[in-house]
Structure 1
Amino acid sequence: MIFLDFFGETETPRAILLPLSAGRRGGSGSVLSACRRLVFLLAALLSPLHAVAEARQQIDEAVHAYLAQRLQEEASRQGWQGLRFTHDSSPLSATAALPACSVPPQVSVSGDNPSLLARQRYSVHCPDQPGWTVAVVSQANVFLPVVHARTVIERGQTIGADQLKREELNIAKAPRGFFNDPDDVIGQGAKRRIRANQLITPALLGTPLLVRRGQRVTIVANQDGIAASAQGEALENGREGAVIRVKNLSSEKVIDAKVLEAGVVTSTFQ
């Protein structure tokens, strides 16, 4: 007697008893025949399970490939570096009756939300088998190394490279935006106090202060081809292009001057 024990799709144990008494009576040929029948029966019983498992795997791989392509396109547009992603996918209908698809299944978006970061509904279709279509819900988890504050950054401070670091983040959890490249942050000014380890978002940044109240500045002027410069004191904070009040330290006269660069303002002869 041969005892065959296996697990079906529902993982419920099943057992089959096959008599081999005929094999004992009829010799090795009968035993061989019984073994062949056993192999055939085993293949017949397990092949649907294999097809189900393979179809389910094909669905996951098709969704993964679709997301990989879309995210690569988005990364190229945004200039993102260091992207990785995972996804959680669940078919909305049974896959038990599906045979394996002989070609890679095709994926299309069937939901209304085009965002790759949102939970999305897809339709997965096998082109060469009519009726082989499965609705799938999938959530992509997209991770990027993004810019955080390494140290406390005070309001109005111009941000330097040593004040920044990059840490990986699921960007779906950054609805206010983020920076993947520290160079996009370096040199900008902090609109408000930024905590150490805080994510840097666009709302935290502004044009940096190039001149601060009480700072010594160089006043340059150019009129009729004559250039001159003098030392002054800024009476107001100023960003690039701002017009602020500056006191000429030689004449004690207060003038309006336009901020050109860090510590430099311009005026005309009065």
Structure 2
Amino acid sequence: MASHSIVKQFLAFCTGILLLAGSALSHAEAMPNTDQTQNLTSIRKKVEEFLTVQTAGYPGRVTVTAGAIDNNLKLAKCPALEVFMPQGSRAWGKTNVGVRCNAPAWTIYMQATVNVVGQYLVAAAPLAQGRVVDSGDLLFESGDLAQLPPGIFTDPEQAIGRIVNISMNAGTVLRQEMLKASPVVQQGQTVTLITRGKGFSISAEGHALNNATDGQLVRVKVANGQVVSGIARNGGKIEVSF
């Protein structure tokens, strides 16, 4: 009887060991192998590093924040992450960024925000249409440039000398379409044609047939009646190249 009791105790002990082993195996199978899955925090860090490089040289203090990634997302571990801007996206304001892996192959897209805090120009006083802008018409304000309309001015030299295209109130954020460039050449003005070629340069006078701002094309009538075209420059000079 004692021998029979010992056998029963031994069998019960073995059964317990098998149950514990089975439980441990099931638990191990349920847990993901973290050594084989991509760390999501490293993806966000890579995106922020990428955008920091892309925004180098922006006019202001730049902060970059990568959006959250769903913690339930399981990606195969990648030895070389590649970050890129999808077509139509840019590193400005709220944007989309792509992250891909070539081997193993997968691609995800995530949101990010680029804030650019800096100074921009506003009208210091009401500006009437046709007024030529001078330094007294301009005032700096600070804010997130990425939240402003496109075409703003951040440097007074960009706006001084331009002509007010539409009347505006004080405090209006100045944009490119509101101020047109002043012509450097007026129709009928006597101008100097400078013709350059390989190893030579010739100057001649003529009369402009149209108004033109710096860098625009202007037609000029010379003394013999011929009409030539060139690029208008400050000081009444017209560049003609061959």
Superposition TM-score, scaled by structure 1 size:
0.45
